[in-house]
Amino acid sequence: MKLDKTILVMDWLDAFAGSELVVKYLHQLYNFEKVYVLTNRMPEENLKKIFGETPIIIKTSSLSFFGNNFRIALPFFPLFLKQLKIKEDNSLIISVTHSVVKGVDYKSNSRHISYLVARNLKYVWEEKDLYFKGIRKIGSFIIPFMQRFDVRMSKKPTAIFSVSDFVSSWALQKYSRNVTTINPPVNVSDFSFCKSKDNFFVSVGRLEPYKRYDILIDVFNKNGKKLIIIGDGSQMKDLKAIANNNIEFKGYLFPEKSKFYLEKAKAFVFCGKEDFGIALLEPQVCGTPVIAYGSGGALDTVIHNETGILFNNQTESSLTKAITLFEKTEFNYDTIRKHSLNFSVDIFKEKFNYNLEKILEESK
């Protein structure tokens, strides 16, 4: 099926993170002519990291009125989404979404592939108790409405892809739609393979409650092993207060500095449940094994007893047993590195384009 234009849709542009990296690679593949977002808060230098030096048209909604506090307007996202109606004819539309834009309106002679980079609107599904707490609890009456809205919007795309089998299964359950899993890529060239490991563990991520750094610190407080934590977030002060001297906080580090620790660590440790979790792949590119909670996206990226150790429960005892098992297991760093190459940028592009072309052929 021949389409005239390529259009990108995202929930918003603000931070340069995993979703934006995916968009960067998709832009290299499809050369988007226009971008629709609910709001654009991204600095120009970061936009250039995604779309290159050639200026690109970015269309926004009235959500921009809220500035950096746009997330507080969650109950009104359905209204702002209506403002993003795509009027271009005969277009290939790709939405990269964790919130609402899979439901964007478009012309009947266009085709829309929605790529779920996370469980959509999970703050009104599984994480509603995390989001609607404190003063926000008074807004919890909107949850059933937003859930029904989310399900209705899921019917609009021509097809849905997702980042992991975990998200695909979740979407099948919530939306009653079959979803194709296409794992996002790790840029292998950003990291160096290293067989010489030092005697410390490392963890990288935002220091937020759902990442369960409390478990990590409790365990390493007791075992006395050296742990380096890279990242910042709302829990930084509280976590530092309970950590012993064997635990070192580096704060946020740019990739060129953090990769040294990924290369040299004896293992990368992670207690959170991610929809995919590119952070679990980056150490494997370096040949570094991973100790991770065996749920969510970790099941797509970590092979138990081969590229790492998966533990069953988000508890202190479960992680402690996993570290003990790790210490008794011999890992082949070459095997770990080889596994990570299955998630390269080139393979991602090939899989995405193959599945997209298949959908377009079937939807003629």
Residues 20-58 have pLDDT tens digits of: 989 999 999 999 999 999 999 999 988 998 999 988 999
At how many degrees (to 10) do helices 345-362 and 18-30 cross? 60
Angle at 237 between CA 240 and CA 241, to 5 degrees: 35
Domains 5-185+344-362 and 188-343 share a fold: yes
279, 270 contact by CB (below 8 A): yes
pLDDT at 130 over 90: no
Q: What is the chain's mean pLDDT, rounded?
A: 94
Average pLDDT score over residue span 130-152:
85
Do 284 and 340 meet the contact criterion of CB atoms below 8 Å apart? Answer: yes
Please state which architecture CATH assigns to domain 188-343.
Answer: 3-Layer(aba) Sandwich (3.40)
DSSP code for 59: E
> What pLDDT score was predicted for residue 250?
95
Q: By CB neighbour count within 10 A (0-12 exposed, 13-18 middle, 19+ buried), where does 206 fall? A: middle
pLDDT digit string (tens) for 178-201? Answer: 999 999 999 888 899 999 999 999
- Bridge partners for 95 per DSSP: 9, 114
303-361 pLDDT per residue, tens: 999 999 999 999 999 999 999 999 999 999 999 999 999 999 999 999 999 999 999 99
The band of 302, judged by pLDDT with boundaries at 50, 70 and 90, is very high
Question: What per-residue confidence (pLDDT) applies to 18?
Answer: 82
Is it the case that residue 157 has pLDDT exceeding 90? yes
Which two three-digit tokens encode residue 286? 């370096």
Tell me the C-alpha to C-alpha distance, in Å, between residue 25 and each of 32, 58, 210.
11, 18, 28
Which stretches of the chain are DSSP H helices?
A: 18-30, 44-51, 77-82, 128-131, 143-153, 165-175, 213-223, 236-242, 255-264, 282-285, 298-301, 316-328, 333-340, 345-362
Angle between helices 165-175 and 143-153 (to 10 degrees): 100
Of 267, 310, 303, 270, the C-alpha closest to 286 is 267
pLDDT at 4: 86
Q: Is 176 left (phi over 0), alpha (psi -120 to 50) or beta?
A: left
Domain boundaries, the chain: 5-185+344-362, 188-343
Task: Please list the alpha-helical segments (H only) found in 113-212.
Answer: 128-131, 143-153, 165-175
Q: How far apart are CA 326 and CA 290, in angstroms?
A: 9
- The proportion of the chain whose per-residue pLDDT surpasses 70, expressed as a percent, equals 100
- Which pLDDT score is estimated for 120? 95
Looking at residue 24, what is its pLDDT?
95
Please give the span between the terminal C-alpha atoms of the chain, in angstroms, as a whole number.
6
pLDDT of residue 26: 97
How far is 320 from 318, CA to CA, in rounded Å?
5
Does the pLDDT value for residue 267 go beyond 80? yes
Residues 6+ apart with CB under 8 A from 259: 190, 191, 192, 282, 286
Which amino acid does the sequence have at 163? V
CA angle 209, 211, 216 (to 5 degrees): 100
356 Cα distance to chain centroid: 21
Percent of the chain whose pLDDT exceeds 90: 80
Average pLDDT (254-261) is 87
Tell me the fold of 5-185+344-362: Rossmann fold (3.40.50)
pLDDT at 306: 97
Task: Evaluate if residue 136 carries a pLDDT over 80.
Answer: no
CA distance 302 to 297: 9
Report pLDDT for 12: 95
